[in-house]
A and B are shown apart, each in its own frame.
Chain A
Amino acid sequence: MTTLARNASIALAIARKDALAELRGKHATTSTLFFAAVVLLLFGFALGPDTRKLTEAAPGLLWLAIVFAGLLAVGRLHIVETDDGALEQLALYPIDRRAIYAGKAISGLAAMLVLGAVLLPVVAILYGIDLAGAWPALVATLLLGCTGFAAVGTFYAGVTVRMRAREVMLPLLMLPVIAPLLLAAVKATTAALAGDPFSELPAWLQLLAGYDIVMLIAGAGTYGFLLEE
């Protein structure tokens, strides 16, 4: 129990450090958010001006924007760290590698949640959606979806960060893996917005939760190998 508490405090310390670094270099967060907003705007040009079509596609477009911006966010969390050699320093400490992974995943999750919290109202405004009444289900979907994305993203960002062509390799490796997450999150969001007429929401949330657990275990189990290099 003490080791668990110790690992948790290490993970939180790493996450807090990442959050502080993000907040001090504010331009990075702002530009990612702006990028996602522009993506949503361009989806409007691609599918509009018929608002009905946009409303119908809104859950998918929301999650695609979260995925694209999230790729930038989790990628940068590692790039900042390795470019000044901080990850190597961190790997030298005699601490559990799973704690380092958890720390990076928590800061990734925080970034994703900020992203989701900003994009959801933007989608509602741009694509004409009524969010009232769907809040609890939407928050649950966002929380589970972002957790899975951060779990997978932290792992793949760690894999690609010291590679040639890392900007291409991160999405290339990661997008096929998060396909089930995207699918389940979009379905859950659609169900939530429609008031869950076929009561399929719990099933999709369960799928998301299962995915999160599997990927967190896989990431925590393998991330240590990356720090050995």
Chain B
Amino acid sequence: MKTRVVGIIGLLAVIAAVVFGLFVVPPDVNQGDAQRIMYVHVASAWLAYLSFGVTALAGMLYLWKRDLRFDAVALSAAEVGVMFTAFAIWGGMMWAKPVWGTFWQWEDPRLTTTALLLALYVGYLLLRHLTDDPARRATRAAIVGLVAAIDIPIVHFSVVWWRGLHQTATFADPTKILHPSAPLPFVIALVGMLSALTVVWAYLMIRRYQLARIEWQIEEHGRLGRITAAQRAAVASSAIPAIPAAPAATAIDGRVEGAGL
């Protein structure tokens, strides 16, 4: 029930931040009203990076402690992170078309890095999806998430170099979003949206984690059900006594209690 409180706070905060960002803050002198998209775009990008940081950290903790709860955190963060990455790209495109004149700007290192980020973590989720054994899935996901996280700074660095070795990346600098002559309302709108969406992120993370835990328990139960059914069938159909199956059954029963069903 506490989770619901987080959700309600997040919802109210987002409504307030959207109303403020869309109707209270004056339009930007250079970018006009299109600049309002920046509030959701920057917040999404921040949450995407936060999510993937959490995925890498939870993966490392899994490799250390071998506790599947860390893997559930990694999964939740990756899924929520992929969603926010897609939102960041979408918001960026909706902002870029009116301001730069194109949806896609190859010269912007942030945009190209984010696109690769999306590909990296969609791959991470597919890898999870295609591996059935929980421990194997968690291990593979943890190391792939780790290598992906190591790759992100290199990608960004190389793309910055790519547009010109001696130029610095100022194209979509977040500090440039805020207009110097009227800083305060812009700062409030951006920080407000950031905080509001971060609360929503926390809510989604908790819900996704709860779902993962309970779904894995059901999965485990189904696996055990199939194993015991197969054993029963084998015992019933043949005259061979159940002795060979018995040790396996006790070992698996031990794991049921471990899973906390």
With both beta carbons as reference points, the residue of chain A lying nearest to B154 in the complex is identified as: A180
Chain A residues 126 to 180 lying within 8 A of chain B, measured CB to CB, are: 152, 155, 159-160, 163-165, 169, 172-173, 175-177, 179-180
Indicate which residue in B123, B127, B147, B155 contacts A179 across the interface (CB closer than 8 Å): B155
Interface size class of B (residues with CB under 8 A): 20 to 34
Are the C-beta atoms of A211 and B143 separated by less than 8 Å? no
Q: Which residue of B lies closest to A168 (CB)?
A: B126
CB contact list, B130-183 vs A, under 8 A: 130-131, 135-136, 139-140, 142-144, 146-148, 150-151, 154-155, 157-159, 161-162, 165
Which of A169, A176, A222 interacts with B119 by CB under 8 Å?
A: A176
Least CB separation from B119: chain A residue: A176
Judging by beta carbons under 8 Å apart, are B151 and A175 in contact? Answer: no
Q: Which of B119, B139, B161 contacts A203 (CB under 8 A)? A: B161
**Chain B residues, CB < 8 A from A172:** 123, 126
Q: Which residues of B contact A152 (CB under 8 A)?
A: 147
- CB proximity of B160 to chain A, nearest CB, Å: 11
Interface contact B126-A218, CB-CB below 8 Å: no
Beta-carbon contact of B127 and A159 below 8 Å: yes
Set A175, A183, A229: member contacting B158, Cβ < 8 A: A183
Query: Which of A169, A207, A226 sits near B126, CB closer than 8 Å?
Result: A169
Separation of A176 and B124 alpha carbons in the complex (Å)? 11
Query: Chain B: which residue is nearest A165 at the CB level?
Result: B130
Instruction: Find B146's partner among A187, A200, A222, A228 (CB 8 Å cutoff).
Output: A222
A155 touches B147 (CB 8 A): yes
Contact B144 A211 (CB under 8 A): no
Q: A159 touches which one: B116, B140, B150, B151 (CB < 8 A)?
A: B140
A214 touches B119 (CB 8 A): no
Which one, A200, A203, A226, contacts B140 given CB within 8 A? A226
Cα A176 to Cα B127 in complex, Å, equals 14
Closest chain B CB from A100 CB (angstroms): 15
Is A225 positioned at the interface, with any CB of B under 8 Å from its CB?
yes
The reply to whether B158 and A184 contact each other, CB–CB distance below 8 Å, is yes
Among the listed A160, A198, A225, which residue makes an inter-chain contact with B143, where contact means beta carbons less than 8 Å apart? A225
Which residues of A lie under 8 Å from residue B130 when comparing CB positions? Answer: 163-165, 169
Taken residue by residue from 192 to 219, chain A's Cβ proximity to chain B (1 for < 8 Å, 0 otherwise) reads as 0000001010011001001100110011
A187 touching B162, Cβ below 8 Å: yes
Chain A residue with the shortest CB-CB distance to B139: A225
Are B139 and A229 interface neighbours, CB within 8 A? yes
Q: Is the interface of A mostly helix, strand, loop or mixed?
A: helix
The CA-CA distance from A200 to B163 in the complex, in Å, is: 13
Interface string of B29-52 (1 = CB under 8 A from A): 000000000000000000000000
B22 lies within 8 A of chain A by Cβ? no
Beta-carbon contact of B155 and A173 below 8 Å: no
B114: min CB distance to chain A, Å = 12
Number of A-B contacts (CB under 8 A): 79
Interface status of B212 (Cβ within 8 A of chain A): no
Contact, CB under 8 Å: B147 / A222 = yes
CA of A222 to CA of B130, assembled, Å: 20
Quick check: B116 and A218 within 8 Å, CB to CB?
no
Q: How far is the CA of A218 from the CA of B154 in the complex (A)?
A: 13
The answer to whether B139 touches A176, judged by C-beta atoms less than 8 angstroms apart, is no
Complex Cα gap A211–B142 (Å): 21
Contacts of B161 in A (CB 8 A): 203-204, 207
Point out the residue from A163, A176, A198, A200 that lies within 8 Å of B131, measured CB to CB: A163
**Does chain A have a CB within 8 A of B94?**
no
For residue B138, give the distance in angstroms from its CB to the closest CB of chain A: 10
Which 5 A-B pairs rank lowest in CB-CB distance, beginning with the nearest? Answer: A180-B158, A176-B119, A222-B143, A173-B123, A176-B120
Contacts from A to B (Cβ < 8 Å): 152, 155, 159-160, 163-165, 169, 172-173, 175-177, 179-180, 183-184, 187, 198, 200, 203-204, 207, 210-211, 214-215, 218-219, 222, 225-226, 228-229
29 CB < 8 A contacts A-B: A159-B140, A159-B144, A163-B127, A169-B126, A169-B127, A173-B124, A173-B127, A175-B119, A176-B116, A176-B151, A177-B120, A177-B148, A177-B151, A179-B116, A180-B154, A180-B158, A183-B158, A183-B162, A198-B165, A207-B161, A211-B154, A214-B150, A218-B146, A218-B150, A219-B147, A222-B146, A222-B147, A225-B63, A228-B139
| 12 further interface pairs, Cβ-Cβ under 8 Å (given A179-B155, A187-B162) | A160-B127, A163-B131, A165-B130, A169-B127, A172-B126, A177-B120, A200-B165, A210-B154, A214-B150, A218-B146, A222-B146, A225-B143
